[in-house]
A and B are shown apart, each in its own frame.
Chain A
Amino acid sequence: MSDLEAWRAKAAAWCESMVPTFGKAARKGLSVEADLALGRRYQKAKFDAGYAGINWPKDVGGQGLGHIEKVSFEAEEMKHGFPNVYFGISLGMPVPVLMQFGSDRDFVKERVVKALQGEEIWCQLFSEPSGGTDLAGLRTRAETDGNGWKINGQKVWTSWAQYSDYGVIVVRTDPTVAKHKGLTYFWVDMKAPGVTVRPIKLAGGDSHVNEVFFDDVKISDDHRMSPVGGGFAVAIATLMIERYVATDSAGFGPHLDLFVELAKEVRLNGRPAIEDGRIRQQIARNYAMRAGLDSINLRARRMMEAGMTPGPEGSLNKLVAVRSRQKLSELAIDLQGAGGFAFDEHASPKDDWASSWINAPTGRIAGGSDETLLNTIAEKILGLPQDHRPDKGVPFNEIPA
C-alpha cells in the first residue's frame, strides 16, 4: 500500500467513525439551525482530526499536504452526507483568498483557524441584480470616506450570507474607466451597521442564498485586499483557486445504480422496466457519459500524484454531469408514474429523484452556467474568438444601462 493509499484508508476509517454522530440518519428531521450547529461540531471534529485545510500551509493552521490528499479526503467524505455544506463556499474561496491577499498576517491566521474550526463562516459577495456572469458589470460602489470607504449597493445569490460572520466583496471604486478597471476588492464584517441580509426562497423550497444590501457601510482601508482599481484580478484569482475539488459524475444527484434499482422494481407494460428498450438506452448512455467523467477524474488524480497538472478536460464535469442528472431525474419520475407525484422538500437530492429534479436547474446555473462553461471551453481550450462585446473598452458610466 502506498503512503497515499494508507493515508486515504485512515481518512476513510475516520469518516466511517463519524457516521453515527454526523451521518444522514443523525441529520434527519433537523431544522436548518440545528443542522448548522451539528455542522459546526462536525467541522471542529474534522479540524481536530487533521482533515481541515488539508492542502493549506501549516503556518496558518492547515495541514501542509497536497491537492491529492485533499481530493482523496473529499471523495471519502462525500459518501456519507455529513453537514459540511455550510462551509463549502467559506473554505472554498473567500478564506483562501484572505490567506493569499490579506495583509495583516495575525488577523489572517486567527480568521483562518476559526473558519477551519467551523466557528466563523465567510461568504462571497460577487453577483448582483444587474449580472452574475458579467461580473465586471457590477454596480455596488465604494466611495472614499475619510481614511476609509463607504459602500452602497446590493449583492444577490450570496450563499449562506445569513450565517456569515465575514464576506469578501468586489465593488466599483471608479465608474469613469472601463468596467473591469474600476473595481476594488475588500473584506467586510457581515455584522456591521448598514448590512442587511434577506434570504431568497428557491424553487426547491430551501433558502441558502440571499440578497445582501449595503447602506453607507463604513470600512477602514485595511479591509482592502487589492490595489484600488485592481479588484478584478483578485476576483478572477478567487474563481481559479478551487481547481482541485472532488467531483461527482452523478452531478450531486442520485447515482445510476439507484436508477437501475428503480427500473428493476417498476413494471412497465407488464414487465420489469429494466427490460424496456427506452429505459435500457438511457441507462447505457448515461453510464457511458458518467464513466467517461469518472475516468477523466481518475486520470486527473494520477496526474496530480505524478506531480503533473491535470488536463483541461476536467472542466467538463459540471456541464456533463448535471445535464445527465436533470434528464435522468425526469425519467425516474416518469417511471414512478402516479407514485412520482410525492415530494418531500427535506429529501436529499443525492438519493431522491424529485428533489434531484427540482434542484437540478440551480446546478446548471450556479458557479458558471452551461453557456458560460461552453464559452470557456471554446475560448480557453479551443482558441475560438470571444463573443462580440459592445461594452468593451467603454468607460463604465457611458455603457447604456
Chain B
Amino acid sequence: MSILYDEGQQAIATESRRVLEARMKKDDLLPLLETTGRYHEAFWTTAKEQGWTALALPEAHGGLALGLVEMGLVTHQAGRTLSGAPFLTSSFGVAKAIELYGSDAQKARWLPGLASGEAIGAVVFAAGPDALPAQPGITFTDDRLDGIGAGVTGGLAADVAIVFANGPGMPVLAIADLADTPRTAVASFDNSRCIADLEFRGTAAEALAVGSGARDASLHILALQAVITAHEQTGGAEALMEIARDYALTRKAFGQPIGAFQSIKHRIAELYGLVELARANCIHASSREGQADFITAAAAARLSATDAYDTAARDCIQIHGGIGVTWEIGLHLHMRRARSLALEQGSSLFWEDILVDRLAGEAA
C-alpha cells in the first residue's frame, strides 16, 4: 500500500532538508571533481551527526530502528543537494546484509561502527554490466576471497565489504574485513564517489548465505539499496526541475521570459511528470519491504528514478543554453551524479530484466 507520510516522517524530511541546504555548497563540491579519492567530509560529518547512518539499523546495535521510508526521505534531500559521499547507501547495504544474514558475532563486530558511521561499508556484487553475475569473477574457497572487485563505489574508503562470490559449485554472499585489501582509485567523472578496484588475495571472509539463498539475499540487498538510490535520484531530478523552472521565469529572450515559450514550458512540465512518477514509485517501494512484490516495486522505482534524473539533467542544461555548460554554474555536478547513480546498484538494463522476469512469471 502506498503510504502517506506521518508527522515524524515529515519532520525528518524538513529537518534533513534544512540542514543540508545550509551546509552543502556547490563551491565545495566542484573541486572534488578534479581530484581522485576525496569525498565531501562535511557531508559525511553531517550524516553521522544527524544519525542518518543509524536510521534504519536495529536499536540493539546502536541504530534508530526506523526503515526504508525514513532513509528514503533523507536520501531524497541528499539528492537535492548533491550528497558529497556515497557511504550512506553502501554502508546501509552492508549493515542490512549483516542484520539479515549475519551471526551475532558479526553483528556485534560491525553494526555499531556502521551505525555510528565510524566504519564504512562497500558492496562488491557487479561484474561489468551485470549487477549480479551468474558466474562471479571473485572466488570464495576455504573462507578466502580471490579476485578483483572492479569499480566499487565507496571502495576506496571502505572498512568492510559484502561480496557476491563464486563458491565451491555455488554462489556465496560473503563478508570481509578490508583492512589489508589493496585498492586502486578509479579516476571517474564523479570523483567524490571514491570508486576503487579492490584486490582480494586470499582475503579472509565469512559466508553470510550460500547457494540460491546467496543470490536471493544479494538481490534483496541490491533492491533495498536501489530504493534508497531511487529516492536520491528523484531528489536530484526534482532540484533540477525547480532550477529549470526558476531560470525559465527569469531569463528573457525576444521580450518575454523563456518559460512563456511552449518548447520550454512543456519540457519542464514533462520533467514534472517524470519526477512525480518516480516519487510515487519510490514512496510505494519504500512501503513494500518484506512483501512478496518488493523486488517488483523496487525495480519500478529504480527505472523511473533513473529516467527522471538523466532526463532532468539533459533538459535542465538545455534550457539554460550556453551558461548551462559552464564549469561554474555546476549543473554538470547533477549530470555526472545522474550517471553515477544510474550505474550504482545496477543499471536500467539490469532492473528491466529483473522486472520483466517477475511480470512474466519467470523469476527464479
Q: Does A pair with B?
A: yes
Instruction: Given A283-B356, A287-B300, A374-B266, answer yes or no on A381-B281 (Cβ-Cβ < 8 Å).
Output: no
Instruction: Given A287-B355, A374-B269, answer yes or no on A295-B256 (Cβ-Cβ < 8 Å).
Output: no
The CA of A280 and the CA of B260, in the complex, are separated in Å by 38
Task: List chain B residues, Cβ under 8 A from A260.
Answer: 359-360
Task: List chain B residues, Cβ under 8 A from A386.
Answer: 260
Whether the Cβ atoms of A291 and B281 lie closer than 8 Å is yes
Question: Which of B148-156, B270-278, B325-333 participates in binding chain A?
Answer: B270-278
Task: List chain A residues, Cβ under 8 A from B297.
Answer: 291
Whether the Cβ atoms of A378 and B2 lie closer than 8 Å is no
* A: contact size bracket: 35 or more
Instruction: Given A295-B283, A320-B277, A385-B260, answer yes or no on A287-B359 (Cβ-Cβ < 8 Å).
Output: yes
Whether the Cβ atoms of B299 and A284 lie closer than 8 Å is yes
Task: List chain A residues, Cβ under 8 A from B351.
Answer: 284
A388 at the interface (CB under 8 A from B): yes
Whether the Cβ atoms of A306 and B4 lie closer than 8 Å is yes
Whether the Cβ atoms of B352 and A281 lie closer than 8 Å is yes
Task: List chain A residues, Cβ under 8 A from B64.
Answer: none
The secondary-structure label for the interface of chain A is helix
A12 at the interface (CB under 8 A from B): no
B356 contact from A280, A296, A298, A384, Cβ within 8 A: A280
Please name the residue on chain A nearest to B353 by beta carbon: A280
A299 at the interface (CB under 8 A from B): yes
Instruction: Given A284-B351, A313-B280, answer yes or no on A375-B262 (Cβ-Cβ < 8 Å).
Output: yes
| Nearest Cβ on chain B to A60's Cβ, whole angstroms | 33
Please name the residue on chain B nearest to A313 by beta carbon: B276
The CA of A320 and the CA of B359, in the complex, are separated in Å by 21
Interface flags for A209-220 (1: CB within 8 Å of B; 0: not) read 000000000000
Whether the Cβ atoms of B260 and A292 lie closer than 8 Å is no
Please name the residue on chain B nearest to A316 by beta carbon: B273
B245 at the interface (CB under 8 A from A): yes
B352 contact from A264, A284, A308, Cβ within 8 A: A284
| Nearest Cβ on chain B to A250's Cβ, whole angstroms | 14
Whether the Cβ atoms of B276 and A384 lie closer than 8 Å is no
Instruction: Given A306-B4, A371-B266, answer yes or no on A292-B245 (Cβ-Cβ < 8 Å).
Output: no
B304 at the interface (CB under 8 A from A): yes
Q: List 13 A-B contacts (CB under 8 A).
A: A274-B356, A284-B355, A288-B301, A288-B303, A288-B355, A292-B276, A298-B284, A302-B3, A302-B4, A374-B266, A383-B249, A384-B269, A388-B256
Known: A274-B360, A283-B356. 14 other contacts (CB 8 A): A260-B359, A264-B360, A285-B303, A288-B355, A291-B281, A291-B297, A293-B277, A378-B259, A383-B245, A384-B248, A384-B249, A385-B260, A387-B262, A388-B256
